[in-house]
């Protein structure tokens, strides 16, 4: 009786998948995205490392199984009855891995760097849902796979070797490129249907173009230097280090500005120092020099003039980020930016503020916060 009920339920579930197969892949992508959003915390935790490694490994295996499915490779094997779930599993792992990238970089103050890659990923996935021809889907599957593989290794390799710089980023990209091309070549060799449907040269050209594009983004500061991230940054009236904590005094913004609590308009009093405080996430034991590059908007040229560059060092491993600050005196009124950068000049984030010098104005809603 139990066996009959089990078969009946399996039959109904398979029938449900067949009826709603048009919408289920994107649903599983969303489920994967939500799952990792709720469970992942920091890249150097054993749990996070394990989940991401499992996702990447199972995605690679499932892509192999799925692309050989039409060749009848799994006929009369135990995998035959699970073939209907392969595309759903692929979308789940797509969602899980892409959400991890957004999670680890959503803490960055400069959100444009996170959005750049996320928009690319979202565009690829939407195209994968909209284009129905198998030849297009195969190109898109491997494009998304390579994109995720690249981000995966640029996170993982620095964490494991406890070192990060531009050469490590290049090595990480080459590892992902080699493994992606290896998977493609294995599938192409094993699957006659794949050989009939795609041009290997075209697919490799797409992957190589993506590799070059991502590196251009990296060198032009369109993405942060993984896996570092700027968790918080603000202009402050005073910063004091006390008992391994930082006491930051700043003006709180209006209640309706819910996305941040510090005010960007800095009411400057004569002789007062202007502090910029930053908290940076870095994986365990990664040591790095951090620079604050102070820039002032020159109204005459409409260009940002670099006024000063000040450095301090961080060592990774702290849950709430590694903190540091710089300050300047005799500061001019106007628009300012402080780029938080690495030694190589790669930007972690940008802290914007405006200096207002008016003797009739006084800072309001001043608070002190411990970091």
DSSP codes of every residue in 253-272: PPTT-TT-SB-SEEEPPTT-
Q: Which helix (H) or strand (E) is 308 found in, with range?
A: strand 303-315
Burial class (CB in 10 A: 0-12, 13-18, 19+), 56: buried
Between the ranges 114-128, 200-214, 234-248, 273-287, where is the mean pLDDT highest? 200-214
Rounded CA separation 141/282 (Å)? 32
CB atoms within 10 A of CB 172: 23
* Residues in the chain, total: 371
CB atoms within 10 A of CB 38: 9
Structure tokens belonging to residue 342: 């690495």
Model confidence over 301-356: pLDDT tens digits? Answer: 989 999 999 887 765 555 555 788 899 988 899 999 999 888 877 788 889 999 99
pLDDT confidence band for 244 (50 / 70 / 90): confident
Q: Tell me the H-state helices in the chain.
A: 2-19, 24-39, 46-67, 86-106, 111-130, 134-161, 166-190, 192-197, 200-219
Measure the CA angle with vertex 73, ends 69 and 77; round to 5°: 105
In a 13 Å sphere around the CA of 162, the CA atoms on its Cβ side amount to 7
pLDDT at 165: 78
Model confidence over 147-174: pLDDT tens digits? Answer: 889 988 988 888 888 777 788 889 999 9
Does 349 or 294 have the greater pLDDT score?
A: 294
pLDDT confidence band for 62 (50 / 70 / 90): very high
Mean pLDDT, the chain, as a whole number?
78
Tell me which residue of 267, 246, 281 sits closest to 353, measured CA to CA: 267
User: Biggest alpha carbon distance in the chain?
Assistant: 86
Return the bridge partners of 236, or none. 275
Measure the CA angle with vertex 13, ends 9 and 15; round to 5°: 115
Structure tokens belonging to residue 308: 């000063």
Structure tokens belonging to residue 127: 């195209």
Rounded CA separation 128/137 (Å)? 6
* Residue 70, pLDDT above cutoff 90: no
DSSP letter string over 41-55? --TTSHHHHHHHHHH
Q: Is-contact 333 268, C-beta < 8 A?
A: yes
The single residue listed with the structure tokens 């230097």 is 225
pLDDT confidence band for 8 (50 / 70 / 90): very low
Rounded CA separation 324/314 (Å)? 8
Does 234 or 35 have the greater pLDDT score?
A: 234
Structure tokens belonging to residue 261: 């609590």
Superfamily of domain 229-370: Macroglobulin (MG2) domain (2.60.40.1930)
Tell me which residue of 155, 144, 146, 139 sits closest to 48, measured CA to CA: 155
Rounded CA separation 288/343 (Å)? 8
Q: Is-contact 95 130, C-beta < 8 A?
A: no
Please state the domain extents for the chain: 2-219, 229-370
Name the phi and psi angles at 183, rounded to 5. Answer: -65, -45
Q: Which SS3 state, helix, strand or coil, does residue 39 take?
A: helix
* Residue 292, pLDDT above cutoff 90: yes
Structure tokens belonging to residue 136: 């297009």
């Amino acid at each position: 009786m139990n066996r009959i009920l089990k078969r009946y339920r399996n039959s109904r579930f398979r029938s449900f998948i067949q009826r709603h197969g048009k919408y289920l892949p994107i649903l599983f992508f969303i489920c994967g995205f939500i799952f990792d959003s709720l469970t992942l915390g920091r890249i150097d935790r054993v749990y996070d490392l394990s989940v991401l490694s499992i996702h990447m490994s199972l995605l690679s295996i499932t892509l192999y199984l799925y692309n050989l499915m039409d060749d009848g490779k799994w006929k009369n094997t135990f995998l035959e009855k699970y073939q209907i779930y392969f595309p759903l599993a692929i979308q789940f792992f797509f969602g899980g891995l892409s959400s991890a990238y957004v999670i680890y970089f959503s803490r960055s103050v400069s959100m444009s760097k996170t959005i750049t890659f996320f928009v690319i990923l979202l565009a690829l996935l939407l195209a994968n849902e909209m284009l129905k021809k198998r030849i297009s889907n195969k190109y898109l599957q491997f494009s998304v796979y390579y994109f995720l593989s690249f981000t995966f290794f640029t996170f993982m390799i620095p964490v494991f070797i406890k070192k990060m710089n531009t050469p490590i980023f290049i090595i990480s990209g080459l590892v992902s490129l080699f493994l992606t091309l290896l998977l493609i070549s294995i599938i192409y060799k094993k699957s006659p249907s794949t050989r009939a449907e795609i041009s290997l040269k075209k697919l490799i050209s797409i992957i190589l173009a993506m590799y070059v594009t991502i590196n251009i983004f990296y060198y032009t500061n369109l993405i942060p230097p993984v896996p570092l991230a700027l968790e918080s940054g603000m202009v402050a009236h005073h910063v004091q280090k006390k008992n391994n904590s930082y006491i930051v005094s700043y003006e709180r913004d209006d209640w309706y500005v819910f996305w941040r609590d510090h005010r960007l308009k800095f009411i400057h009093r004569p002789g007062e120092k202007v502090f910029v405080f930053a908290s940076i996430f870095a994986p365990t034991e990664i040591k790095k020099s951090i620079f604050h590059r102070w820039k002032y908007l020159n109204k005459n040229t409409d260009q940002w003039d670099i006024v000063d560059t000040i450095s301090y060092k961080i060592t990774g491993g702290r849950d709430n980020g590694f903190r540091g600050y710089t300050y300047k005196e005799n500061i001019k009124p106007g628009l300012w930016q402080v780029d938080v950068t690495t030694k190589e000049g790669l930007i972690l984030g940008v802290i914007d503020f405006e200096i207002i010098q008016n003797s009739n104005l006084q800072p309001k809603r001043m608070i002190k916060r411990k970091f």
